[in-house]
Structure 1
């Protein structure tokens, strides 16, 4: 499947979730300036903002039991960062639109259909797994609320907000808790859509570097084929033309990678922070509580899994871009320049490879906030640091 279709489908999901039209072709997906769509978007994000504010108030001014107060802290932090993540991408809509256009076009003429099919399958698997983790967690939060209602004799609750209070079991309070549950599930759709677009871009850029590497690896074979069928001069001319084309694609990929960093760097950085802080909080609530019910344990485990899965998707796919880009210098060196001979055109073509190989040796490392490197090593460092902080806090609480 071509990147054009993959990116368009990702943008369609954002549009239908209320995030706006991020596709570079005006009117192809929809009109996000239409008054009805603006009302739809405003209603979704207004409900999410109101719910998040009530969660923050519940943390600082609410009177709730320990388990509900812990949920209030987790959701207030998570939803605040989720809104910040989505806002950071919306603020860069024009840049993201241009990024969609450029990513769909670069290297498109040289993409291998089998490789593209593998890429599309990997994107679908990543997005589907993330969707399952997020909504699996939401389902068990609902199960936990029903368990409290029917087995603990309290009330149904998933999202803990400042109003209603813990002791308020009126019909209006119950209705509001159900509405908050619906808003929670609604909020997950644009969040998943924005995160999935970022992951889709990372995977696509990784495969662009693979395509470019294969392009240079085929040059020697093309040169020898043309030289045997036509002449050495014709083969040298083709080689020079191909080298220039490949260098142009490499420069375009480097530029797109920087634009991708600018567009989604804040989203990824906030995802790292969210995973680090929330996972520590969730692990503490899971290990320090006494005899947690099965549904409670499962909702926490699925929430942790969703956060870690998203963290792995961002950091590992960004790390793959760094790795695939590092292989390009070897492909340039072994592209067959030694077959050119000593003609003027041959020397010119060979000289073109020197600065190109030097540029390919510079590491392509994406950074969040221009500081945090998005690599495999960073993923392992974050997970280890997370566990170290959790173990330290856990041991101190147990001592007290």
Structure 2
């Protein structure tokens, strides 16, 4: 599936959940400037914000049992970060539109169908797996709430300042059920508007480098065919022209990498903090609580898995971008410029040599995605975050023993 249709479908879903029209073509998806759509969007995010505020109040001043107090802290921190992530994308609407347009057009003429099929398969697996982990965690929270109801307590998933723990009135029951529904919708908005949308852009950007590398390798194949047929002058001209076009595409990819950092840098950075910080809290809950039920443990396990799974998707795909970009120099160097015989025009040989030198020098500084413009988003960073998280958890656990 072509990038145009993939990103367009994402933007349609983002529009439907109330996050505005991020598509760069006018009047294709919908008008997010109408009064009805603005009312829908504002009411949706006000609902998310109000629920998050109640979660924060519950964590700070609420009087709840230990298990619900822990859940209130977990949700307050996580949902605050989710809200910041969502607003960080929505507030950069013009930048995101430009990024989508540029990302679709660069290298578009040289994208092979087989490579696009492979890219779509990888993207679909990543997205589906992430959705399963997120809603698996939410399902465990709901099941735990149902279990509490059968044990004589009340149903609860999202712990908010109102209703209080002792309040079992009809309004309190309706409020608890309503916050659960809002949670499920908020998770859908988070998945579509932020996490999977950012992930899709990273995967597409990674495959742009694979496409560019295939382009330089095909340039060598075309050169060899002309060389073997005796069209030396035409081979040199085609090679020089192809190198120029490849260098232009590479420069465009470097520029787009900066746009991705501006559009999704906050999302990636906050995910590093959220995955590490929240995971420590959740692991401590599992380790220090002796009365956790099976479902309660599973909801915490699913939460930890979802946090680290998303972080792994972000960092590993960002690391793949660096890796694919680092392979370009070999593909450029072996494009066939060294086979130019002496009968080639001297000026043509010099121009080709300078182009290769320029392209190799540019590609030997591979793109490295960063969070906070300091922390490199690579495979090594993912392992570092996992090890650091476990070290902090072990430290706190040892102090409580």
TM-score (norm 1): 0.97
Deviations 1:302-334 (A, max 9, x none): 111111110001111000000010011111111
Matched residue, 1:296: 296
Residue 53 of structure 2 is aligned to residue 50 of structure 1: no
Structure 1 match to 2:365: 362
Counterpart contact for 1:217–1:331, Cα < 8 Å:
yes
CA shift for structure 1 position 340: 2.2
Matching of residues 300-379 of structure 1 within 5 Å = 300-342=300-342, 343=345, 344-379=347-382
Q: Name stretches of at least 5 consecutive residues in structure 1 with no aligned partner.
A: none
Give CA deviations for 1:220-266 in whole Å, capped at 9, x if unaligned: 21012123446211111111110001000000001001110111000
CA deviation digits over 1:197-228, x for unaligned, max 9? 11001111111101111111122210121234
Shift of the alpha carbon at 1:361? 0.5
Runs of 4+ in 1 over 6 A off after TM superposition: none
Pairing 1:77–2:60 present: no
Alignment of 1:130-279 (within 5 A): 130-151=130-151, 153-193=152-192, 194-229=194-229, 231-279=231-279
1:29-71 CA distances to partner (integer Å, 9 max, x unpaired)?
A: 1111122111111111011000000011111111001100000
Give the SS at the match of 1:195: helix
Q: Deviations over 1:8-39 (max 9, x none)?
A: 11212211111111111112111111221111
Q: How far, CA to CA, are the matches of 2:117 and 2:340 in structure 1?
A: 35
Distance 1:321 1:187 in 2: 30
Query: Within 1, Cα distance between the matches of 2:215 and 2:171?
Result: 64
Matched residue of 2:256: which SS? Answer: helix
Say whether 1:37 aligns with 2:37.
yes
- Distance in structure 2 (CA, Å) of the matches to 1:393 and 1:320: 34
Cα distance in 2 between the residues matched to 1:25 and 1:325: 30
**Partners of 2:264 and 2:207 in 1: how far apart?**
18
Aligned residue-pair number: 397
CA distance in 1, matches of 2:167, 2:321: 52
Unaligned 5+ residue runs, structure 2? Answer: none
State how far apart, in whole Å, the 1-side matches of 2:284 and 2:61 are: 22
Q: 1:340, 1:347 within 8 Å by CA — same for their partners in 2?
A: no
Deviates more, 1:218-227 or 1:56-65: 218-227
The answer for the alignment partner of 1:115 in structure 2 is 115
Matched residue of 1:218: which SS? helix
Task: Give the deviation of 1:272 after TM superposition.
Answer: 0.9
Aligned equivalents of 2:120, 2:204: Cα separation in 1? 9
- SS of structure 1 residue aligned to 2:63: coil
Return the alpha-carbon distance in structure 1 between the equivalents of residues 187 and 11 of structure 2: 16
